[in-house]
Amino acid sequence: MNYELYLFYLFSSFALISAIMVISLANAVHSILFLITVFCNIIGILILLGAEFLAFLLLIVYVGAIAVLFLFVIMMLNIKAKSNKSSTWPLLVLTLLLSSIFIWQFLMSISINFEYGNDISKLTHSWINWVNKSSTLTNTEIIGNVLYTNYSFVFLISSFVLLISMIGTIVLTMHQKANKKGQAIAVQLLRNPSGVVKFVYLKN
C-alpha cells in the first residue's frame, strides 16, 4: 500500500478546499486563516516530494512571517465587508472560465498514475547501509554550498537591496515637521524655582 500517494491526495484535497474558502469568504480574517491552511498543506506535499528545505522555508517565511503579518494588520485595521452594488456578470464569467480551466487541470493531474507499478515482482529490493547514507549531504547542505559559493555575489547583492528597502521604508515613515514643538529639558532645569508655584487668592 502506497501511503505517500494517499497522503498526496489528502494534502491536495485540503489545499484545494482551503484555497476555495480563501476566495469565497467575506471575512478577511477567516480568509487569512484558510490561507495559512493552504500553506501548511503545500508544506506537507513538499515534504512528501523530498524538498524539505523548500518546505521549511515556506513554513518560516510565508506562514511564520507574511501570513501572520497580514492577519495582525487586518485585525488591527478592522476591515469589514462592504456591499457592492455594481454589476457582477463580468466577474461571474471570469470566475466560470478560470474554474473550468482549473478543474480541467485537476482532472488531468488525477489521471496521471504516480505509482511505479502494480507488479511486485518487477520491484528490485536492495539493502541500504545507513551509516554511509548519514555521511552524505542533505538537500539543505547542498543548497547552502551552491548558494554561498557559486551564487555568493548574487546573494550579497540581494541582501543589500533588502537593506536599502528597509532603510528607505524607515526614512519615509519618519515625518518630522520643522516647526514641531519639543520639550527642552535644559531650559526647564534652568528655571527659577521661586516663580514655579504661585498662590492665587480668589475673592468670595
Domain 1-78 of CATH type 3.40.50.300: no
pLDDT higher at 112 or 140: 140
Q: How does residue 42 score in pLDDT terms, banded at 50, 70 and 90?
A: very high
CB 13 within 8 A of CB 41: no
Q: How far apart are CA 41 and CA 37, in angstroms?
A: 6
Amino acid letter for position 170: I
Nearest in space to 4 (alpha carbons), one of 162, 155, 114:
114
The total of other beta-carbon atoms located within 10 Å of residue 32's CB is 21
Half-sphere exposure of 91 (CA within 13 A, CB side): 7
- Sign of the C-alpha dihedral computed for residues 147, 154, 156 and 59 taken in this order: negative
The residue-averaged pLDDT of 53-64 equals 85
What are 93-107's pLDDT values in tens digits?
Answer: 888 898 899 888 878
The model's pTM = 0.52
**Residue 45: is its pLDDT beyond 60?**
yes
